[in-house]
């Protein structure tokens, strides 16, 4: 909905041929007004993505025997993989061979 800038009344659409414009009862018309063109330029900020390698381990470690290489120390983390009323799943990652296994506890 558009309003007349002169009197504040609601502008009504009017069509002449293939051209449409808005008119007001006070005589105001958008017939001779050039339509504005909106152009938008999206600027992307390119940021470097830091890659974390497997060597930079920040997980806690515990005594757990790897089923693959029998090493005694593993990193661990816990994730809620089932319903909220069930316990979390504990994942282990062998410090030596990087094998991952889980304990449902």
pTM above 0.85, yes or no: no
- Positions annotated as catalytic residues are 85-86
Q: What is the pLDDT of residues 73-97, one digit of tens each?
A: 999 988 888 788 888 888 999 989 9
| Residues in CB range of 6: below 8 A, 6 or more apart | 24, 26, 28
Higher-scoring residue by pLDDT: 38, 65? 65
* C-alpha–C-alpha distance, residues 33 and 28, integer Å: 11
In this predicted structure, what is the pLDDT of residue 68?
94
Average pLDDT over residues 3-32: 84
Distance, in Å, from the CA atom of 26 to the CA atom of 51, rounded to the nearest integer, reads 66
Hey, how many other C-beta atoms are within 10 angstroms of the C-beta on 29?
A: 14
- Percent of the chain at pLDDT > 70 equals 82
Residue of 67 and 87 predicted with greater confidence: 67
Confirm if 5 and 28 have CB atoms less than 8 A apart: yes
The second-level CATH assignment, the architecture, of 61-103 is: Single Sheet (2.20)
| Cα 6 to Cα 52: distance, rounded to the nearest angstrom | 63
The yes-or-no verdict on residue 70 having pLDDT over 90 is yes
Which is more confident, 88 or 34?
88
Contacts of 18 (CB under 8 A, 6+ apart): none
């Amino acid at each position: 909905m558009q309003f007349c800038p002169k009197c504040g009344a609601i502008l009504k659409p009017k069509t002449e041929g293939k051209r449409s414009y808005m008119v007001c009862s006070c005589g105001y018309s958008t017939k001779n007004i050039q339509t504005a063109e909106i152009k938008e330029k999206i600027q992307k900020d390119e940021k470097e993505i830091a890659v974390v390698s497997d060597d930079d381990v920040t997980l806690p470690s515990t005594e757990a025997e790897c089923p693959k290489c029998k090493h005694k120390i593993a990193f661990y983390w816990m994730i809620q993989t089932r319903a909220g009323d069930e316990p979390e799943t504990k994942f282990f990652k062998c410090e030596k061979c990087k094998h991952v296994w889980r304990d449902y506890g």
